[in-house]
Amino acid sequence: DAKTTQPTSMDCAEGRAANLPCNHSTISGNEYVYWYRQIHSQGPQYIIHGLKNNETNEMASLIITEDRKSSTLILPHATLRDTAVYYCIVRVANDYKLSFGAGTTVTVRA
């Protein structure tokens, strides 16, 4: 049972912002939204996570809607090295398990 829904793929131009949507309409109050990415043939890399407030770090920004049913990961200035599969995951705070769905394959083009 998929907890999140993401587009299969998306392209974006180098230097432009990449906005990656994620739907999690069944999210419960104690579940966080996590984003990871996996560059080809590497282990996943943590990007950002949040509960209900918008979050920003050196890699990206996470915008969570007020009803928490969806979120958007924003890569402010995409580079070719951002080409990867991006996974949106919901997870209970005290549950260490991460359930990876299919993710969104993001291709950044010059």
Partner 1 sequence: GAVVSQHPSWVICKSGTSVKIECRSLDFQATTMFWYRQFPKQSLMLMATSNEGSKATYEQGVEKDKFLINHASLTLSTLTVTSAHPEDSSFYICSAETGLGHNEQFFGPGTRLTVL
Q: Site residues for partner 1, window 25-54 (CB under 8 A)?
A: 32, 34, 36, 38, 41-46, 49
Under the binding rule (CB under 8 A), the answer on residue 98 touching partner 1 is: yes
Region of 20-28, 62-70, 73-81, 97-105 interacting with partner 1 (CB under 8 A) = 97-105
18 or 36: whose CB is closer to partner 1?
36
| φ/ψ of residue 20, rounded to 5 | -110, 115
Q: Report how far residue 77's alpha carbon sits from residue 79's, in angstroms, rounded to the nearest whole number.
A: 6
Binding flag, residue 21, partner 1 (CB under 8 A): no
The residues with which 48 forms a beta bridge, in sequence order, are: 35
Number of H helices and E strands in the chain, helices first, is: 0, 9
Q: Which of 58, 66, 81, 93 is the binder for partner 1 (CB under 8 A)? A: 93
* Residue with token string 């131009």: 13
Sign of the C-alpha dihedral computed for residues 105, 49, 95 and 93 taken in this order: negative
Total residues contacting partner 1 by CB under 8 A comes to 22
Contact residues: partner 1, CB under 8 A:
32, 34, 36, 38, 41-46, 49, 87, 93-94, 96-103
